[in-house]
Amino acid sequence: MVEFQYNIARFSPWQLVAGPVVVLILCIGFLSLNIITTGLPITPGIDFAGGTAVTLFTQNSGDQIRTDFSSYPLISVAEGINNGWYLKFGPMTDDQYRQFTAYLKGAYPDSKVDQIGETFGKTLQSQAVYALLFSFIGMAVVVFVAFRTLVPAGAVVLSAFADIAMTAVAMQVLGIPLSLGTTAALLMLVGYSVDSDILLTTRVLKRKGKTDEKFTGAFRTGFIMTTTTMAAVGAMWVVSVIGSIQIITEIAAVLLLGLFFDLFNTWLTNAGLLKWYVEKRGER
């Protein structure tokens, strides 16, 4: 079996950084276009856009349920356990909502309804944006205080930002909405990404030895850490899919995407900038 070797000596810093930078620029452009057209970088779920969630138990098929509610703004129908179904509807007028609840009680008397008003959804939306912004700013401050050097600290912050931006684009492409659950997953990604970046930066700057060997040792440890986490999250994703637990499925999917991009950005973007910094410092 051929063992994968992380040999950073084969590439220049700019060769390492070029690909991730191009991908990041494309992602920023994509998210900016979404913000201009919709007001948010990612399509919001009913948590933020407002709407109605319905849980019902019936022997009817998914196609029959879609037909029953075809006159209402049905967004999705997800199958649960024990003949359970989870339905999401977009915002409705007051009259339409009254008709909807009356029909629901008659056709599916055991159903459960949860409604989020559009105004309340926008409030949650702004709070989620502030939470992401403040967590990122707090992370950046801690990193700059810890390293007190512009390039290494900036590389950590840039890599973390790239992880979030690329994950957001993947969410949009795969149709994973921005909800309270996926916002929590993005907040967790800030911590995950900084963890691996700080590991790399600390190993390279604080330890003695040959630079290439320090990069290789840091990669071995960081790769094992990240892939182990991915395996655990992957197991959670499989269980949630089997059990039709949609919110857990979405959280696990976001974490898996973010951890994949973390490998990409840590060992190319951050490593490339660190290599350039170490080489320049050696010349001085």
Rounded-to-integer distance, Cα 156 and Cα 147, Å: 10
The per-residue pLDDT for 5 is 65
pLDDT (average), residues 6-31: 88
* Sign, Cα dihedral of 250, 253, 259, 264: negative
Residue 1 has pLDDT above 70, yes or no: no
pLDDT tens figures, 38-64:
777 888 877 777 788 888 888 888 788
Residue 169 has pLDDT above 70, yes or no: yes
Higher pLDDT, 105 or 173: 173
Closest CA to 217 of 7, 12, 14, 16: 7
Rounded-to-integer distance, Cα 246 and Cα 80, Å: 9
Show the tokens assigned to 277: 């910094």
pLDDT tens figures, 236-266:
999 988 877 888 999 999 999 999 999 999 9
Residue 82 has pLDDT above 70, yes or no: no
Higher pLDDT, 80 or 227: 227
Distance of CA 154 to the CA centre of its chain: 21
Residue 119 has pLDDT above 70, yes or no: no
CA within 13 Å, CB half, 239: 9
Average pLDDT for the chain? 84
Rounded-to-integer distance, Cα 189 and Cα 167, Å: 9
The per-residue pLDDT for 283 is 44
The per-residue pLDDT for 26 is 95
Fold agreement (11-45+119-283, 51-116): no
Q: What percent of the chain has pLDDT over 70?
A: 94
Contact predicate 156/270, CB 8 Å: yes
Rounded-to-integer distance, Cα 118 and Cα 103, Å: 22
The per-residue pLDDT for 257 is 95
Rounded-to-integer distance, Cα 94 and Cα 96, Å: 5
Instruction: Provide the CATH topology of domain 11-45+119-283.
Output: Multidrug efflux transporter AcrB transmembrane fold (1.20.1640)
The rounded radius of gyration (Å) of the Cα atoms in the chain is: 23
Torsion angles phi and psi, residue 53, rounded to 5 = -115, 135
Residue 214 has pLDDT above 80, yes or no: yes
Q: What type of residue is 233?
A: V
**Architecture of the domain made up of 51-116:** 2-Layer Sandwich (3.30)
The single residue listed with the structure tokens 């637990």 is: 245
The residue ranges of every structural domain in the chain are 11-45+119-283, 51-116
Lowest-confidence pick of 15-19, 104-108, 236-240: 104-108
CA within 13 Å, CB half, 107: 16
The per-residue pLDDT for 71 is 84
The per-residue pLDDT for 198 is 87
85: left (phi over 0), alpha (psi -120 to 50) or beta: beta
The per-residue pLDDT for 284 is 45
